[in-house]
Amino acid sequence: MKVLKFGGTSVGSVNSILNVRKIVEAVDEPVIVVVSALGGITDKLLHTANLASTGDKAYRKEFNEMVARHKTVVEGVLSGARQAAVMRKVMETLDELENIYRGVFLIKDLSDKTSDAIVSYGERLSSVIVCGVIRSARLYDSRRFIKTHRQFSRHVVDFEQTNSLIRKTFRPAPKVALVPGFISSSIEDGEVTNLGRGGSDYTASIIAAALEASILEIWTDVDGFMTADPRIINSAYVIERLSFTEAMELCNFGAKVIYPPTIYPVFHRNIPIKVCNTFNPNAPGTYISGENARKEAKTDKMAIIKGISSINDTCLVTVQGLGMVGVIGVNYRIFRTLAEGGISVFMVSQASSENNTTFAVKNGDAALAVEMLNGEFAPERSRGEIEDIVAEKDLATVAIVGENMKRTPGIAGKLFGTLGRAGISVIACAQGASETNISFVIKLEYLRKALNSIHDSFFLSEYKMLNLFLTGVGTVGGHLLEQIKHQQKKLMTQNGVKLNVVGIANSRRMLMCREGLDLKACLRDLREKGDESSPELLRDEIVKMNIFNSVFIDCTSSEKIAGLYETLLNKNISIVAANKIAASSPYKNYRLLKETARKRGIKFLFETNVGAGLPIINTMNDLINSGDHILKLEAVLSGTLNFIFNTISEDIPLSRAIKMAVEARYAEPDPRIDLSGKDVIRKLVILAREAGYAVEQKDVRANLFVPQKYFKGTIDNFWEHIAELDAEFEEKRKKLAAKDKRLRFVASMNSGACEVGLIEVGSHHPFYELEGSNNIIMISTERYRDYPMIIKGYGAGADVTAAGVFADIISIANIR
């Protein structure tokens, strides 16, 4: 037998209820289905009751809206005689509810008993509707077998009676039993009670445990437990397996996937829980059991901690005073007093000196807690032995959870080191001897920052050494080696980072040394002692060396070298690429590389693909990561073409300017590579993708200024005929000069639409004064809409490109 529970969103609409029917009817064994009220109805029931209790006639409007919604759902999921029968039951139930509301309105009073009765109607209505939708389903009244007794101000399940009644009710069980969740009744007087917010989960768990079900499935609107709140951390992912302890810790500290008490009944019977998505039923979900996830895990997502959870409704109450030291029973009095007030404590921290005890409660309970404790310790306060009880609000509690933390040294050190580096002060902390949870309290304003910092630290890695493999040791690669050589000692002494070059390669030879190469002699040694190399041999040697914290640096323009990235990333080797081929390759491959890097907890960086050493891509990523949205890009991205159009004059025609670009090594020996605009297109595609748009090279509209016929034939044919364009360009230049305008080859992206081509810019345009081979980009975002962000500077050159590559390497060292 299975027990399936469907939450409010799962039964909140016509389509979702039809999904529920498909899921239930696909089960090939007896099943008990527990349902919540339609999404949002519980809140509306209470709101309507409060309006009625104050004599506000607006309660009628709220009630009519509930009637209309339930009628709409019935009409959408059923037809014919079945619809008429269910509609009759629904309307009868709503009539009962209306009479209660009318009574509350007339006497202007809402007792707890009446409130409990009103709020029960949500599940009573939804269960009638869902039962009518599912074939052969039989409806049960949970008030007849879920029994509670009063404990302080709460209703607590009487398990002895409840378990006995459940077994009696469901043996034998029908093919499909339909049960309203949340609702219960008092063993004292039989009045309607409830199990509290989220109580439908608890109902399902109680039934599953009593009947020893094979599994409890919680169907909701998420794919399962996440490593962190995905609304705060984009890189959060679904946790595939949790132990009962881990799930319980995450639930108690704010993970709202399931109601915390749900776990206890099935835990004692060792009945697994599976969290599933009603709207994505094929997703693997999260499986919760008594098994150790360390033994089961087969994915690279296995981590020391399983998840991060938080409670943003936190207040710290502190009882302190020198009169507490050595006095027996102080904590007993504290927590007895809180229990008498029905106040729940979810974290406790005490100084070993015994002079203070701090505990966390919800903000709404703080005033009562302070009042009751001030009363309890009034004699001690009057004598000065204990200070006035204080409450500190606007706080948040964060917990990192994972059974793999047990007996793993350094977790607390890493946690507090991460927070310290982020500039976040810990106000209070606690860790139990079970070592499955480290909890701490911080200011609420730092919650988002803390969660992101912790997630990055624990789900990626933090390194002190990077082992570097460099391929392409020519112009850019050679400059990079020189820069690393000059910075090695400084990085070690000032940053605690050691860059260890363990391999270099060119197109013919490679040189590897696990301990690190001598940077003063490595290029000579490569020529004289290097082993034969090819992309395949290089890949195999790197994988064979299997060195930790490795970074592969590509300073080539080789398509075959770019083809190695996926393999290397899957071996947990980060990649820094000056090579533009991978990032501008088909979008599917680009996303694959990015996703592989993310999942592996490593980096795929290519800042120098655009603008050499200019911080363009990193700046865009910072904007996006901080919540901004890039709307438009306009850029001059070709130093070669900018040089040509800055050089053309009355004395220097187009053909001569092209020749000068080649001679100055701004252009390739075959300048048609630059004139074709392919390089600019690649750069624009990379920028558009980094801005969040799925763009292919073929999507870019190219308006070239050199006709296609000049790209055919040999390079000699090109030089022989290119002067034919001189007169046309001189005429165009003169006209523009008369208007104080200049030509610029501009790459632009507007909401994903990409284009490259010549445009005319006036003297007030930011591109007008762009000199030499410089690059410039204007970034328009939601924040920088009226005044775009401008990045400008050297966009070419081996030295600045090498510096950009170096910056990417350092960024890996700094974030890990």
Is 42 in a helix, a strand, or coil? helix
pLDDT band at 464 (very low <50, low <70, confident <90, very high): low
Q: How far apart are CA 439 and CA 460, in angstroms?
A: 20
pLDDT > 60? residue 295: no
H/E element, 114: helix 112-119
Helix/strand/coil for 562? helix
**527/306: higher pLDDT:** 527
Mean pLDDT to the nearest integer, 555-583: 94
Q: How confident is the model at residue 413 (pLDDT cuts 50, 70, 90)?
A: confident
* Residue listed under structure tokens 């939708």: 133
Quote the strand ranges of 356-406, DSSP E.
356-361, 390-401
For residue 79, is pLDDT > 50?
Answer: yes
pLDDT at residue number 459: 60
pLDDT at 328: 86
CA distance 69 to 165: 34
pLDDT of residue 466: 80
Model confidence at 65, pLDDT cuts 50, 70, 90, reads very high
- Average pLDDT of span 780-802: 90
Q: At residue 145, does pLDDT exceed 80?
A: yes
The model's pLDDT over 722-768, given as tens digits with 9 standing for 90+, comes to 999 999 999 999 999 999 999 999 999 999 999 999 999 999 999 99
The tokens describing 90, both together, are 């629904």
- pLDDT of 626 reads 93
pLDDT band at 456 (very low <50, low <70, confident <90, very high): low
pLDDT at 492 over 70: yes
The pair of structure tokens assigned to 764 is 């007030």
Q: Is residue 652 pLDDT above 90, yes or no?
A: yes
The CA-based dihedral angle spanning residues 521, 522, 524, 526, taken in that order and rounded to the nearest 10 degrees: 160
Residue 634: C-alpha distances to residues 345, 630, 775 (Å): 56, 12, 11
Q: Is the pLDDT of residue 815 over 50?
A: no
Catalytic residues: 683
Judge whether 316 and 360 are in contact, CB under 8 Å: yes
Q: Tell me what pLDDT residue 235 has.
A: 62
DSSP string, 572-629: T-EEEE---TTTTS-HHHHHHHHHHHHHHT--EE-GGGTTTTS-HHHHHHHHHHTT--
* pLDDT recorded at residue 296: 37
Percent of the chain whose pLDDT exceeds 70: 95
Question: Is residue 321 pLDDT above 80, yes or no?
Answer: yes
Spatial distance between the Cα atoms of 544 and 159, rounded to a whole number of angstroms:
60
Residue with tokens 């809409």: 785
Which residues make beta-bridge pairs with 339? none
What is the H or E stretch that residue 311 is in?
strand 307-320
Provide the pLDDT for residue 692. Answer: 94
The pLDDT of residue 600: 75
Q: Taking a C-beta distance cutoff of 8 angstroms, is the pair 75, 57 a contact?
A: no
| Whole-number Å distance between alpha carbons of 571 and 602 | 10
| Predicted pLDDT at 607 | 95
Q: What local confidence, expressed as pLDDT, does residue 814 receive? A: 66
Res. 300 pLDDT band, cuts 50 70 90? very low
Burial of 433 (0-12, 13-18, 19+ CB in 10 A): exposed
- Distance of alpha carbon 496 from alpha carbon 463, whole angstroms: 10
pLDDT tens-digit readout, 656-683: 999 999 998 788 889 998 899 999 999 9
pLDDT tens profile 250-259: 887 656 788 8
Question: Please, what is the angle between helix 58-77 and helix 41-53, to 10°?
Answer: 150
Mean pLDDT of the chain: 90
Whole-number pLDDT of residue 229 = 82
Over 60: is that where the pLDDT of 297 sits? Answer: no
Q: What is the pLDDT of residues 235-291, one digit of tens each?
A: 678 888 999 988 888 887 656 788 888 999 999 999 999 999 999 999 999 999 987
Task: Evaluate if residue 693 carries a pLDDT over 70.
Answer: yes
Q: Write down the pLDDT at residue 55.
A: 94
CA distance 781 to 789: 8
- The rounded distance, in Å, linking the Cα atoms of 492 and 688 is 37
* Region 715-721 average pLDDT: 94
| pLDDT band at residue 354 under the 50/70/90 scheme | confident
Q: HEC profile for 65-96?
A: HHHHHHHHHHHHHCCHHHHHHHHHHHHHHHHH
Residue keyed to tokens 């809402």: 110
Cβ pair 46, 315 in contact under 8 A = no
Ramachandran quadrant class, 221 (left: phi over 0; alpha: psi -120 to 50; beta: rest): alpha
Could you tell me which residue, 605 or 459, shows the higher pLDDT? 605
- Summarize the confidence of residues 123-134 as an average pLDDT: 96
Average pLDDT over residues 456-460: 60
